[in-house]
Chains A and B, each alone.
Chain A
């Protein structure tokens, strides 16, 4: 009788440990897929920093052995990924912004060349607005 219970216990233990490892393996595969999806969205100009942070929270829970909560957090990140994938990518991307700022900076000396003398003269006259000119012999 005792050996029967031991046998059943062992089988249950094997089933539980096998399902745990399958769940863990599936979780890592899901994270890998989510990461690649987030990277693709990032490349077309979406801000994925919040999704990456959510994924990192899921991985922290996974590292602590809390697979159920980790899986739930991962689901939230996956839903957010699906929402972004269904929307249009932003028109202005980071490198557009950087190039625009760089071009503006390169045009600044030309602007300064013409505007500094004008501004200086404007200031010069403003500061001397109340001056009175007197002719003396």
Chain B
């Protein structure tokens, strides 16, 4: 194959032009137009997916793990709010849960990094409940807006349904 042949050389040049434009575009896009998002995940006490507890004692403690990921293109200061609610008081992607805050966990992450930490939480229902009633353990992800120094709800949350009992089960 003679690469100085007009047709062969045109093909080689076309490949080089397309790949250089694509590479330059990717580099510029990564630097200036990042797809920014934050993520929160709920893991079991061994910090693994699945095998979550499905029942708990009222005012008892449960051990779980929280996973947070930052892909916002800059360092972000996060706050995870723990609340206990019911099926009708879980948050949406625009509004947080109306239930009172029980605990707060903080984390600060660089861009493209994540953290997983254990949490020991108490199952404190916001009102008196029936034995075996289903509760939602809610974890909301908030971030600090550096412009106005106010905490803002990211619209990300995780929740775990458990049945709460007043006396220990056999």
Interface residues of A (CB under 8 A from B): 28, 31-32, 35-36, 38-39, 42, 48-49, 52-53, 55-56, 59-60, 62-63, 94-95, 98-99, 101-103, 105-106, 108-109, 112-113, 116-117, 120-121
Which of A39, A48, A56, A60 has the most B CB atoms < 10 Å from its CB? A56
Residues in A with CB closer than 8 Å to B60 are: none
Instruction: Name the residue on B nearest A112 (C-beta).
Output: B16
From residue A16, how far is it (CB to closest CB) to chain B in Å? 20
* Interface range for B: 20 to 34
Residues of B within 8 A of A120 (CB): 3-4
Q: Does B108 contact A (CB under 8 A)?
A: yes
Known: A48-B75, A49-B110. 5 other contacts (CB 8 A): A42-B74, A63-B105, A101-B24, A105-B24, A113-B13
From B30, B77, B115, give the contact of A35 (CB < 8 A). Answer: B77
Q: Are A56 and B115 in contact (CB under 8 A)?
A: yes
Q: Please measure, in the bound complex, the distance between the C-alpha atom of A117 and the C-alpha atom of B109, giving whole angstroms.
A: 50
Cα of A106 to Cα of B79 in the assembled complex, Å: 43
Is B12 at the interface (CB under 8 A from chain A)? yes
Name which residue of chain B comes closest to A99, CB basis.
Answer: B28
List of B residues within 8 angstroms of A42 by Cβ: 74-75
B128 at the interface (CB under 8 A from A): no
Determine if B43 is an interface residue (Cβ-Cβ < 8 Å). Answer: no
Give the residue name and chain of the A residue nearest to B78 (CB). A59
Distance between B96 CB and nearest chain A CB, rounded to angstroms:
18
Residues of A within 8 A of B21 (CB): 106
